[in-house]
Structure 1
Amino acid sequence: MRKQGAIGKESRLRLLEAAAEEFALSGFYQTKISSIVARAGLTQPAFYLYFESKEAAFAELVADFRNGLSQAVRDSHIGPGKNREDLKEAVVASLEQIYRFLGRNPALTRIGLYLSPESVGIKAEIAGLMEQNLIEEQQAGYYRQDLDAIFFAECLLAIIERLTLIKLLPGHETPSQLARQTQDLFFYGILDMQQRS
């Protein structure tokens, strides 16, 4: 019984992974259950053993993405007690955690962040979580007190969203590189400080 349970879990996972790849490649409407099971190396009856429909598999993938990204953002919060020297690296580590989640499963990220009708709502939730983190970090004395946390959270999310699409998913930059570049932009801006009068 236990072996069948393990085999069933493995088959279900293979179907979800195959579905993510097919949805990311072809979009929801063009993806067929036959293409999902072919990619997974399983049969259509096996698909219906685990999912009522293509819609159910898609909805589960979107929910997995939403939950995973939300947790990554919550975990990226920088707690109190950092000194100035440590803050820069803490911010890099925080951003890297988010980029690493987004890069771990590119197909799932494409679905949840760009293709799903729920993506707008997901991004609004993520911006809200980022705003909460920023407010708490601002209260810890890490950032300017006049910083508009809502504006900053929306800017940060927009940068992460765009860089994920054009740099991370195609493999042009690593999560670590993107985290460091994002942190550097926010900490130091674009002015050449040596040339300021």
Structure 2
Amino acid sequence: MATRGRPKGASGEESRALLLQVAAKEFAQNGYYGTKISTIVKGASLTQPVFYLYFQNKEAVFQELVDLFRIRLVDFVNKSRLEPALELNTVQERVTYGLANLLRFFSKNPDLTRIGFYISADADEIKKQLVIQIKENLDVEVSEGYFRTDFDTHLLAECLVGIIERLTFTQLLTQQKDPEAIANDIVKLFLYGIMGTGDGSPVP
């Protein structure tokens, strides 16, 4: 016999996941203060008593979404660090692959990304942590000989996070460019800059 307020055949895990999914959409579209528990449960075809089985209040479900974004972000950045002893001619490909993976996560989870990167009061702290992680990756990669030693890795990490944040908002979430194209543009800019040879062609 199905629990009252729960769709027939749905498990507790499914109901909880559905509430998180609908809540993410509502928060992303309407902001924290514009979202109501009644709207979340209506969108999930559940009842408020079912909501309170899994979450203490609106703040609890919002914070879980923020924490989920933070955990996934940390995992992607950790996995993007270049392995030791790579062939130098594969570095660009590996950096692009790691960045594209992160952007694909943003693209596949636009509501979660809007919450964690832009709406949440924790967004600035999340981005500060992202800067620290990228700097740590860069420090290791410089020590491995992949990049020059005469640049400020913290400054570069700040610049990279700023570019990722802005292009995610203007290009990725608006579907103007796909993750791979954005990753390619960013990596080429950082690895080769914009200096030309005088005739408009790139520096070799």
Q: Same fold (TM over 0.5)?
A: yes
Q: Distance in 1 between matches of 2:181 and 2:68?
A: 26
The corresponding residue for 1:159 is 163
The corresponding residue for 1:90 is 94
The corresponding residue for 2:81 is 77
Runs of 4+ in 1 over 6 A off after TM superposition: none
Work out the number of aligned pairs and report it.
195
Unaligned 5+ runs, structure 2: 1-5
Amino acid at match of 1:185: L
Q: Distance in 2 between matches of 1:125 and 1:26?
A: 26
The corresponding residue for 1:124 is 128
Question: Are positions 1:39 and 2:43 aligned together?
Answer: yes
Q: CA deviation at 1:67?
A: 0.5
Q: CA deviation at 1:6?
A: 6.8
CA shift digits 1:140-190 (9 cap, x unpaired):
111111121100000000000100001111111111111111111111212
Assess if the C-alpha contact under 8 Å between 1:37 and 1:44 holds in 2: yes
Secondary structure in 2 matching 1:30: coil
Q: CA deviation at 1:195?
A: 3.0
Question: Are positions 1:53 and 2:57 aligned together?
Answer: yes
Amino acid at match of 1:70: V
TM-score (norm 1): 0.94
Question: Are positions 1:147 and 2:151 aligned together?
Answer: yes
Q: CA deviation at 1:122?
A: 0.5
Q: Which one of the candidate residues 5, 18, 33 is aligned to 1:14?
A: 18
The corresponding residue for 2:67 is 63
TM-score (norm 2): 0.91
Amino acid at match of 1:102: F
Unaligned 5+ runs, structure 1: none
Q: Distance in 2 between matches of 1:102 and 1:131?
A: 21
Amino acid at match of 2:197: M
Q: Distance in 2 between matches of 1:79 and 1:139?
A: 12
CA shift digits 1:107-137 (9 cap, x unpaired):
0000000000001111001110000000001
The corresponding residue for 1:106 is 110
Q: Distance in 1 between matches of 2:127 and 2:96?
A: 21
Q: Distance in 2 between matches of 1:12 and 1:45?
A: 12
Amino acid at match of 2:19: L
Q: CA deviation at 1:194?
A: 5.3
Assess if the C-alpha contact under 8 Å between 1:15 and 1:37 holds in 2: yes
Identity of matched residues, %: 45
CA shift digits 1:84-118 (9 cap, x unpaired):
21111011111112111222210000000000000
Secondary structure in 2 matching 1:195: coil
- Computed over aligned residues only, the root mean square deviation of the Cα atoms, in angstroms, reads 1.9
